[in-house]
């Protein structure tokens, strides 16, 4: 945890030296990174849930094709 605090202090020192337009760019980039992380975590949850689902098995190719067409008709 100390490493994270050290990094934050270092970043704060750098930020205090920058002009406002650079701060706006950094804010936008940080928002972009946070959004990517949020999306990545969401994808991981969806993939994990999909991996935990019981696989669907069919007795034949015809049954599988019929199930697909039955599903698309709804």
**CB distance 64 to 58 below 8 Å:** yes
In the predicted structure, residue 2 carries a pLDDT above the cut 90: no
Listed in sequence order, the residues at least 6 apart from 15 whose beta carbon sits closer than 8 Å to its beta carbon are 23, 26
| pLDDT at res. 36 | 98
pLDDT tens column, 16-52: 999 999 999 999 999 999 999 999 999 999 999 999 9
| pLDDT at res. 74 | 57
In the predicted structure, residue 10 carries a pLDDT above the cut 70: yes
In the predicted structure, residue 73 carries a pLDDT above the cut 80: no
Q: Give me the chain's average pLDDT, please.
A: 93
């Amino acid at each position: 945890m100390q490493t994270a605090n050290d990094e934050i202090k270092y970043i704060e020192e750098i930020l205090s030296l920058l002009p406002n337009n650079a701060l706006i760019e950094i804010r936008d980039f940080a928002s972009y990174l946070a959004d990517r992380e949020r999306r990545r975590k969401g994808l991981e949850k969806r993939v994990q849930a999909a991996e935990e689902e019981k696989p669907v098995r069919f007795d034949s190719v015809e049954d599988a094709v019929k199930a697909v067409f039955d599903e698309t008709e709804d």
